[in-house]
Chain A
Amino acid sequence: MGLTITEKILREHCQNKSATAGDFIMANVDKCLANDITAPIAIEVFEEVISGTNVEIFDPRRIILIPDHFTPNKDIASAVQCKILREFAKKHKIINYFEVGRGGIEHCLIPEQGLVTPGEVFIGADSHTCTYGALGAFSTGVGSTDLGVAMASGKCWLKIPESIKFIYSGKLGEWVSGKDLILYTIGKIGVDGASYKAMELSGDVLSRLSMANRFTICNMVIEAGAKNGIIIPDKITSSYLESSGFSFGKSYISDNDAEYVDIIEINCNEIEPQVALPHSPANVKTITEVNDMNIEIDQVVIGTCTNGRIEDLRITANILKNKKINPDLRCIVIPGTQETYLKAIKEGLIEILVKAGAVVSTPTCGPCLGGHMGILGEDEKALSTTNRNFKGRMGHISSEIYLASPAIAAFSAIKGYITSPQLN
């Protein structure tokens, strides 16, 4: 019986060389990630695990610590948490600690820095760690205790997931992007439609998608409950890694006779831009339907880990060029990393955004989780390129979050209600 790419990677990383889907393993971990929200507990767990022993961090080069959620610090309490991170990184000589102003949002920064390659097992104390499956790694979100134990032992318990194969075929419409494909998919299968499973994403549409779009898609597989999302490395993967000067790692493919618990074929020809309505990423409607609802918005957020890459900013700036943000709303643009921010400056994108009346923020998760940099007040509505729109997530419990692509968000920021270029 053949194996999926997910089974192969995990089998390679454990002692049981006949392990397959359904088996529990103690996996050898290539990389461990935590941020300013999750690291304080992970660090406490690490100290507790090693106390009374001579054990040290299993490999400091494999630990990645990124303060990005409540940074630049939103209050004293978050400054205290970041200090814990900072001092731990210094004490244990963790080179992959990215201080504020020297890094960015973890799920944009890590591929940019070449810190994940095909075939790796990457665990992160953040649910959107699944992002790096776009590079053909097994990449999954875990808890702080998992992370603390992994830092000491280099190991993480995992159950090898069954896989669902998604085949995206046809052709994408003009304004349809990776964000729309994943929203469409989550709308189709529900927030637990891929619960505990690997979402293996394939098809000729997928094979033509840029890495930025692939990261966006994999970023959101957790919103369908998936353990990981994964795209088998191809020319686009290798060209991305080569152009950045990074190693290609170990590339696996799924066998032709690999077993899938389900195979879902999606014809992309008729897919319109999608919008997830409050309060679930699965509450998805087409832009045509949403346009007819005439939803006026108070705030637009463009960027963050889902859609904060240079390609997303280019799309945004292209739409906002020589235009003005609607006077009744605020538009907040958040580049994913300092490098992206600099590129955007050099390409003249930031000037376009500021002249249009948008706020351009330093890289931060900020408003996505209701931290800072754009909290919603009572009854306010936001359209956002982030990945989650649970009730009250961006601010007041009565506020509402709609999720969409950068193109839809930028255009709606001009119009003042949720709509698309094609409908105007």
Chain B
Amino acid sequence: MKGKVIKYHQTNINTDLIIPARYLVNIEPDFLASHCMEDLDPDFITKVNENNYSILVADSNFGCGSSREQAPIALKASGIKYIIAPSFARIFFRNSINIGLQIIELSNIDDIKTGDVLEIDLKSGEINNTTSLHHYIVKKQPAFLQEIISDGGLVNYAKKRLI
């Protein structure tokens, strides 16, 4: 998969920033997307739409704070298909796995810039930065989580295997 990066080189981007509480009154993904990252960058959704960004790159402990699933929902609905960060806060991590938003842990994000085009192959665990020519190897998710991911998220997993 090939995609263009939008990067926020900031640690601890919390879920209040990703989707402020004043918007937790409507669960429609498109509504949430329209206010995604508003308090961090009011132009986020415009930038994503105009440039077709599909990969969000951020620094460690991304998604910390509130458990609001509206946060990964907003990001996914805004057009982001992958989030790359050195680490993710635990509830955001599990919410993303559950809803089928691909998250990738990569310790060094310094070389990646907004506008870079990345080729991501999660089967082989390789990321190719076609713009800077850097190459990254990423750890694959554990087999347990691979099952949820390959089922397309927890709802499908549950329908198939839990009930």
Q: Which residues of A contact B (CB under 8 A)?
A: 24, 26, 37-38, 40-41, 44-45, 48-50, 53, 55, 69-70, 75, 77-78, 80-81, 125-127, 141-146, 148-149, 152-153, 155, 157, 159, 191-192, 195-196, 222, 225, 227, 280, 369-371, 388, 390-393, 397
Bound CA span A120–B64, Å: 26
- Complex CA–CA separation, A393 to B21 (angstroms): 8
Could you say which residues of chain A place their CB within 8 Å of the CB of B27? 40-41, 44, 81
Q: Is the Cβ of B39 less than 8 Å from the Cβ of A155?
A: no
Interface pairs (26), CB distance under 8 Å = A24-B142, A49-B155, A55-B163, A69-B24, A70-B25, A77-B26, A127-B66, A127-B91, A142-B67, A144-B95, A145-B153, A145-B155, A146-B94, A146-B95, A152-B163, A153-B162, A157-B144, A191-B64, A192-B60, A222-B91, A225-B61, A280-B12, A370-B20, A390-B14, A391-B17, A392-B16
What are the residues of chain A within 8 A of B87 when measuring CB–CB?
192, 195
**Bound Cα distance from A126 to B66, whole angstroms:** 7
**Chain B residues with CB below 8 A from A26, complex form:** 162
Residues of B within 8 A of A (CB): 12, 14, 16-17, 20-22, 24-27, 39, 60-61, 64-70, 73, 87, 89-91, 94-95, 98-99, 142, 144-145, 148, 153-155, 158-159, 162-163
Residues on A with C-beta less than 8 A from B24 are: 37, 69-70
List the A side residues contacting B98 at CB < 8 Å: 143, 145-146
Contact assessment for B99 and A141 in the assembled complex, using a CB-CB cutoff below 8 Å: no
Contact indicator A145/B25 (Cβ below 8 Å): no
Query: With the chains together, A78 CA to B148 CA distance in Å?
Result: 32
**Bound complex: CA of A48 vs CA of B89, how far in Å?**
27
- Distance between B58 CB and nearest chain A CB, rounded to angstroms: 13
Interface contact A49-B158, CB-CB below 8 Å: yes
What is the CB-to-nearest-CB distance from A283 to chain B, in angstroms, rounded to a whole number?
Answer: 11
Q: Are B69 and A143 in contact (CB under 8 A)?
A: yes
Q: Which residues of B contact A75 (CB under 8 A)?
A: 25
